[in-house]
Structure 1
Amino acid sequence: MDGDFFSFERLVAYFPKILSKFPISLYVVAVSTALALALGTVLAIIRIRKIPVLHQLAVVYISFVRGTPILIHLFLVYYGLPLLFNALFGYNIASGWNKLIFVFLAYGLNEAGFLAEHIRAAILSVPRGQTEAGHMVGLTRFQTFRRIVMPQAFRVLLPGLSAMVVGMLPATGLAYLLGVTDMMGMITTVSYSSQHSLEGYADAALIFISASFILERLSAVLIKKSSYGRKSVDGSI
């Protein structure tokens, strides 16, 4: 290691290599958000309808997720799921699955616990009279939920969902702990020969901050457009 504490030249040299792995972070966010929306909706419906046994299990699951760090979920999924599959089916998924799959599952399961409460609140915000009106015109329960409830609930959910996505982006930096070569993993690679990693972390910080800012701006525009012309129940805009 040379005596330079920080080198602008290394900062510039590392940047394109680290940036090349940024799509992996976006990929994790996109897939995990889709999983979280699906599972979160199921959990929310279970809680709203208070389905026996499942309701209690959903409450325990949500409490566990909200009370434990994502790092624990990553390790539980990565080490625990293969053991479970091997015990139940005699199949070793640890050797057959891409490590990104474990990352998707861990982040998806984690965010679903948080998103479930937002989805539940969003669904309950839709006036019950609109659901009853859907039934009166001949729509099934599922059709009423899909065509009437969810479009309105999604508008209410959007701010919370946007905040979750923005918060998840920097959190994806933990994926390298499972052996995924994302931006954080690339820092180790590019700094191996020089033994200087500070510049790599500075590059990653710059990328995460810039991407988060862009996502926040895009979210603000999307939220504004989704609420344009919409009035609340009391008549205010």
Structure 2
Amino acid sequence: MDKFFDVALIPQFLATLIKYLPTTLYILVVSLLLGFVMGVLIALPRIYNIPVLKQLAIVYTSFFRGTPIIVQLFIVFYGIPILTALVNVDTTRMDPLYAAIITYGLSSAASIAEIIRSAINSVPKSQTEAALSIGLTQRQNFFRIVFPQALKQATPNFWNLIIGFLKDTSLAFSIGVMDMSGRGETLITSSNHSLEVYVSLAIIYYLVALVLEATFKQIELRLKRDKANTRTIFEMIRQ
């Protein structure tokens, strides 16, 4: 049973929990980088209607967007040792941190793929037609014309995704990752002051989210200024 609420404990818990913030941010950054690379690869078959790969991408996206992240964490954490055992590799002692990164990477890839797909589809087809008419290849058109515009279009959705996954990392403790939430659980066990611990965690997560939002706002303002100086493919043709 919890002890009586003691607000004086919150600064103490904050000082303890903040030391584990780098682990939380490490999971977030590495998994999102992995998710971005995978997301691009998953989005392309659907954009260009590649047989079989398109259907696989749809199933992948549907599964990871339709199942809870905590379920995915347990599937990956307990599934990796079973899969690696098939090739005589023992991963039963693998650090849970890696399982968490893999899970969040796989999960974020599904959402990122949808963001990229919708952003690329929002680029006018006339841009591609104009690029091809001046001799650019399909690959040059994608990487030099379509993809840069799509990324700018997708940035607001990317920001929302990052904030969402920041909060989702709090579930990594369920497979034994010692991040802020994991340390919070040990503090609850040793102190019997669960409310103070959760309030402290809420404060840290909220402050990090505010910093990220302010950073994203500055990036968006810069992108808008750059957009005014960016030439479209039509302007290139006119010259």
Give me the TM-score of the superposition, normalised by structure 2.
0.88
Counting aligned pairs with the same residue, the percent is 38
Q: Report the residue type matching 1:110 in the other structure.
A: S
Partner of 1:157: 154
| Unaligned segments of structure 2, at least 5 residues | 233-239
Question: How does 1:203-222 map onto structure 2 within 5 Å?
Answer: 203-222=200-219
For 1:56 and 1:192, the matched residues in 2 are separated by 47
* Alignment length (residue pairs): 230
Q: Which moved more, 1:194-203 or 1:115-124?
A: 194-203
Partner of 1:33: 32
Tell me which of 89, 94, 102 is aligned to 2:99: 102
Task: Summarize the Cα distance change of 1:18–1:131 in structure 2 as closer, same or farther, 3 Å threshold.
Answer: same
Matched, 1:18 2:4: no
Tell me which of 177, 182, 187 is aligned to 1:180: 177
Question: How does 1:41-190 map onto structure 2 within 5 Å?
Answer: 41-87=40-86, 89-95=87-93, 97-190=94-187
Question: How does 1:197-236 map onto structure 2 within 5 Å?
Answer: 197-228=194-225, 230=227
Per-residue deviation, residues 138-189 of structure 1 (Å, max 9, x unmatched): 4443333222221111001101000000111111001111111111111133
Task: Summarize the Cα distance change of 1:57–1:136 in structure 2 as closer, same or farther, 3 Å threshold.
Answer: same
For 1:72 and 1:191, the matched residues in 2 are separated by 24
| Unaligned segments of structure 1, at least 5 residues | none
Residue 128 of structure 1: how far off its partner (Å): 2.5
- SS in structure 1 of the partner of residue 191 of structure 2: coil
Q: Aligned-residue CA RMSD in angstroms? A: 2.2
For 2:92 and 2:133, the matched residues in 1 are separated by 51
For 1:140 and 1:56, the matched residues in 2 are separated by 26
Give me the TM-score of the superposition, normalised by structure 1.
0.89
For 1:133 and 1:82, the matched residues in 2 are separated by 51
Partner of 2:236: none
Residue 131 of structure 1: how far off its partner (Å): 2.7
